[in-house]
Each structure stands twice: as C-alpha cells, then as structure tokens.
Chain A
Amino acid sequence: MTSHRRTHGALAAGIALAAGAIALAAKQQNRRRHHDHPADDAPGFTARRDFGRYEVVGRSVTIARPRAELFAFWRNFGNLAQFMENLNEVSPTGAEGHSVWTIRAPGGQTVQVETRIAREVDGELIAWRSVEGSDIDTEGRVTFEDAPGQRGTRVGLIIAYVPPMGEAGRAAAKLLRREPEVQARHDLKRFKMLMETGEIATSARRKDATRAAKMENA
C-alpha cells in the first residue's frame, strides 16, 4: 500500500518510472488518492489521468477455462504469437528468463525487444520488463484470478511503454490500427477464443482470405 502511494507521488511529480506506471495501473484494492480524485475501487488504468511518459494499456477478459491451464499456455511464450497478431515470434536468449520479442510495427518494420521476467507467481502472475538498451522501453504483466461462480478465470493484461517515436509514432500506429490499446483488446479476445473454442473465429470463406493470411502476405 505504502509503496504504491509513494510511486504515485513520484508520477505526479513527472519523474515516472515504468515500474511505477504498472503498479499504479494495476492498483485495484488500493484506493486512488490523487488530488481531486474521489477514492474508488476501479483498476488504476481506467483512471481519467495519464501516466507521464508512459502509455498504459489495460484490459481484462473472463475465460471459461481453469486458471492453471491458461497460466501454463501463456507462460510458454512461444504460444503467444498464436493470438497476438503483431507478434512474429518470441524466442529465448539462453539467459534465465530472458526472451527476444519480434514485433510488427507500422510501415512494415519490425522491432525487437529483449525482456526479462521481473516476477512470476505460479498460476497467478507473470510480469516482464524490457532490458536496458531495448528498442522499446516497456513492461507488462498478466494476472490470472478465479472468476466468480463457474465463469472460469479472469485474465488481466497491463502494458506500459514509451511510444517509440513519441506522439508522431503513436498517431501513425493509430492510423494503421496497430495501436497497442486496440491490439491488447483484440489479442486478449483472440486468446479467449483459442482457449474456449480451440480456434480463432473468422468469417472468411476461404483460407487465403482470413485476416491472419492477409497479414502474413502483407
């Protein structure tokens, strides 16, 4: 609780650290005590405020599958490209917990980000952070909680990043629909589809007309 509040103060002073942005965005139980904000219980990333240099994207989805199964699938990072549309691949570097993510970027480019696992709680949480000197300064976390009743598992994804080319990059990405907020929402829904149905829905009449096929050939 205390550490969250301290980080919060640092953000307000404009010296945001990514770690702080994530912590703040993840806040759920800890009441928001920010200037004129009334305290409430909503996730931090839904706040009507910004996170300094960092863009913060957060999204939750409920998946009717057991928590352990979802955690195990996600923890094998090689699986992520099956539902993360802009991810070409994730490969381990050899160093413990380190991976290189190859991501499609606007204009047919790719960017590479090396991450290390910052924290892991089996069946509950995986947090990662870009290493010093990566193309993108980013961190993220995915959490898995039991959903009420028979609804399965609530999966929460939060990603904080410094837009690669500042405002211009963000605008360009938005135009090309590769904006992280849209992407995160879509990726989580694809994850849900894959886990609940074993496939990702498409209305294409033929294999070469699916969105995935078109992106492959783009």
Chain B
Amino acid sequence: MRALTWHGTKDVRVETVDDPEIVNPRDAIIKVSSTAICGSDLHLYDGVIPGMMAGDILGHEFMGEVVETGPASTLQIGQRVVVPFTISCGGCFHCRIEQYSACENSNPVEKQDASAMLYGHPMAGLFGYSHMTGGYSGGQAEYVRVPFSDVGPIVVPDHLEDEKVLFLSDILPTGWMAAENAEIQPDDTVAVWGCGPVGLFAVQSALAMGAARVIAIDHYPHRLELAHKLGAETINFRETHVREALMEMTGGIGVDAAIDAVGMEAHGFAIDNMLDVVKQKVGIGADRASVFKQALLAVRPGGRLSVPGVYGGMTDKFPLGALMEKGITVRAGQTHVQRYTDRLLAMIEEGVIDTTFLISHTLPLEEAPRGYRCFHDEQNTWTKVVLKPGMETRQ
C-alpha cells in the first residue's frame, strides 16, 4: 500500500510499504477514505518530539471502511467508521472511568519504559506518533490496522459525508475537552491562545457551553477572521500587548479561564522563549512554553487554565509563584476521545456543530508532502489539510 512516512526533520515521503494484517483478535483493518494532517503532526515534522524512527507512518485523524475483522472485533465489514487517535482497551481502570487517553494496555510493554521514565507513568498508545506512544502505524495510508476495534471506532451514518465527521477522530473532541477543562460558567470571559483547528473548536465549544465572551489570540489574519466568524473577539499578538489588552478588555479583572491551544512550539518575542527556541534546536528538550506562562499571568486569581496544546518535555523560568499565589487550577491532557464522540456525533447530525468551515485544502495522499510543507509554511491560509488516498493526482 501507499503511505506517508517520516524520515527526519521536514522530510516526509509517500512510499510503498507492506499492507497491514490482522495481528490480534480484537483488530480490524480500515480502508482509509479520508485522513487529515494535525497540528501535532507538525511537531513531528519539525523533529521536536522524541522517539521517532525513519519509516514511521504518520497520521492520527482518519476514517474509512472496515475491510477485515479479527475474531473478537465487534465491527462488521463494510461499516463506515471514524477512528479516535487514542488507542484504548476498554478494560483497564482508566478506560473504565472514561480516562481513555490514559489506557494502561494499549502501549506495548517494551515501548512503555521511555515515557514511564520521563513522566513517571507510561503513556497510552496513539496512532501515527512517537514510539513513546507505541509507534503504531498511522492513518495517512491506504489501510490501517486498528487494535481494540470494539472500543475505539465510531460507526457513522452514510448520509454524513467524511468532511462532517472526520474531525471526531481528534480535534473536535480535543477542542470540546479543552473548553470542558476550562470549567466555563455563564458570564465567563475565556481567552483562547492559538486559532489553529483545536483553538477554533475550543472557541466554538466555549461559546456552546455558555461563555459570555471568548477572546481569541493568534497572529494570522485569516485564522483570526475564522475565530471572529465563530463569535470570538480577537487579539493579534504581533500588533497588540496581549496581557495589557486582556486586562483592559475585562475591566481590570483578567480572564476567568484561559485555553492554551498552542503548546510546545509557541512563537513569541519573550527572552525566555528565544532561549527555549535555541535549546529545542540543539536538542536539549526544552518546550517553548511562552503561551502557558503568559496564560498563567493573564488568568484572574482563582481562575482556570486548560491546556490542550501538546508539551513533551521540560521548561525553564516557569511562573510557579503565579500558579500558587493566584490559586489557578490547571487541567491538561491528551483527549479522552471516546468519552465525547457519541455526544458530538449527535450534535453534528442535529446541525449544531459544523466542522467543514475549517478545511482549506483537500489533496490526494500522494501529495501529502506538499500538504505538510504548506500547512507548516503557509499557516494563514492552509488551516486544515484533508488527504484522500483514492483521489486523482493533478498532473
């Protein structure tokens, strides 16, 4: 089959690789109809996530048709499914309390040591990501082996086209959980850093949960425009002092809740961020946490900070005092996708949520490397790239 493989920093290729097959009893094989490039794929593209190996197949947002099932799979051949990016067994303590992204059994035993050492506990398995999360082959391919297929995949009705349901795999529930973690109360003002797909869905979700105001922060005019269309006020951080603006826009109170939808590769002009850029470049693993730090200072005393943005390592000059002295609640984490999919699918069916506005480009899988390059370099206009394995290549 054809698949998008990682070979190093800014080096991804479409290659012919072995087809997947049923390995364990609960597996299913999915023939991919649509798959997307995620902002977190760009962290891999930039080479800032450890534990990648040449030849790894990327992609953790995908959907398609069930073409083969293991004896213990509950899926039927021919069903259309969206597959959550987190792999969850359904039987461990964490899955049973719906903390699916902390599944204890989906990351192969021999791959657990690295994250256990780094974080104190091993991470769950994820599709198309680092070997710290299992090294599972991802969805930017013609076919995918899906383990625990009786727990993860969501069967979607035929009348909803791919573009409407694909983002149930990651960014839609991630934006939703980001807003949920911000514990939004009516009359709250919520600031969202980053108007990428997760940030935009967080804006949408925060408003749906009753936030009085959402203030979206980015530096790409087009992305700010999308946030504005969803109902957010906007701040362009290249033109405006963000903290001062937030204080003034809230009458000196500060925002009630903050959402960091940026993560480890923040842009920014602060000195500590520049140092973090240098450390990241020389591989000493510092996360550029300027958004996290700024958000801690911007949120009001007793407020909440929700972190859907991806971080992987350590950071310096962390305003620990602000966290403690102001009594901020911080909630973070990979998304417990399966906890939200039924509810969000229903909202999509009812027309309450529409995700199609986000898609700026649809490309054949064969053109995935161009998709990565443009999604990375032209973030203003390339807001979301969907790849189609079967699609005709332009000549």
Which positions in A face B, CB cutoff 8 Å? 62, 64, 150-152, 182, 186, 189-190, 192-193, 196-207, 210-211
Contact = CB atoms under 8 A, between A and B. Distances in A.
Given A189-B109, A198-B26, A200-B109, 10 more contacts: A64-B91, A196-B92, A198-B25, A200-B24, A201-B24, A202-B108, A203-B135, A205-B17, A205-B19, A207-B21
B136 interface: yes
Is the contact region of chain A dominated by helix, strand, or loop, or is it mixed? loop
A188 B145 CA distance: 26
B23 A207 contact: yes
Contacts of A186: 109-110
A197 B148 contact: yes
B105 interface: yes
B68 to A, nearest CB: 13
B89 A196 contact: yes
Interface centre among A193, A201, A207, A211 (most CB of B within 10 A): A201
Contacts of B125: 201, 203
A207 B134 CA distance: 16
Nearest to B70: A199
Given A197-B26, A197-B89, A205 B108 contact: no
Contacts of A197: 26, 89-92, 105, 148
Contacts of B31: none
B106 interface: yes
Contacts of B26: 197-199
A193 B21 contact: no
Nearest to B136: A203
B72 interface: yes
Contact of A201 (B18, B93, B134): B134
Which of the four size classes fits the interface of chain B?
A: 20 to 34
A198 B72 contact: yes
A187 to B, nearest CB: 8
A210 B110 CA distance: 11
Nearest to A61: B104
B109 A190 contact: yes
B313 interface: no
Contact of B105 (A150, A182, A193, A206): A193
A205 B27 CA distance: 11
A28 to B, nearest CB: 21
Contact of B20 (A150, A189, A192, A205): A205
A192 B107 CA distance: 12
A158 to B, nearest CB: 19
B96 interface: yes
6 contacts: A62-B93, A64-B96, A150-B96, A198-B26, A201-B89, A207-B23
A2 to B, nearest CB: 37
Given A201-B125, A203-B135, A64 B92 contact: yes
Interface of B: 17-21, 23-26, 72, 89-93, 96, 104-113, 125, 134-137, 145, 147-148
A199 B17 CA distance: 26
A211 B110 contact: yes
A205 B137 contact: yes
A198 B151 CA distance: 13
B18 A206 contact: yes
Contacts of A205: 17-21, 23, 137, 145
A34 to B, nearest CB: 27
Contacts of B148: 197
A218 to B, nearest CB: 14
Contacts of A192: 92, 104-105
Contacts of A64: 91-93, 96
Contacts of A196: 89, 91-92, 104-105
Nearest to A189: B109
B20 A206 contact: yes
A87 to B, nearest CB: 15
Nearest to A196: B91
Given A192-B104, A207-B21, A210-B23, A201 B109 contact: yes
Contacts of B21: 205-207
A205 B109 CA distance: 16
B93 A202 contact: no
A176 B80 CA distance: 44
A196 B93 CA distance: 9
A196 B103 CA distance: 11
Contacts of A151: 93
Contacts of A200: 24, 108-109
A185 B360 CA distance: 47
A123 B5 CA distance: 49
Contacts of B25: 198-199
A64 B96 CA distance: 9
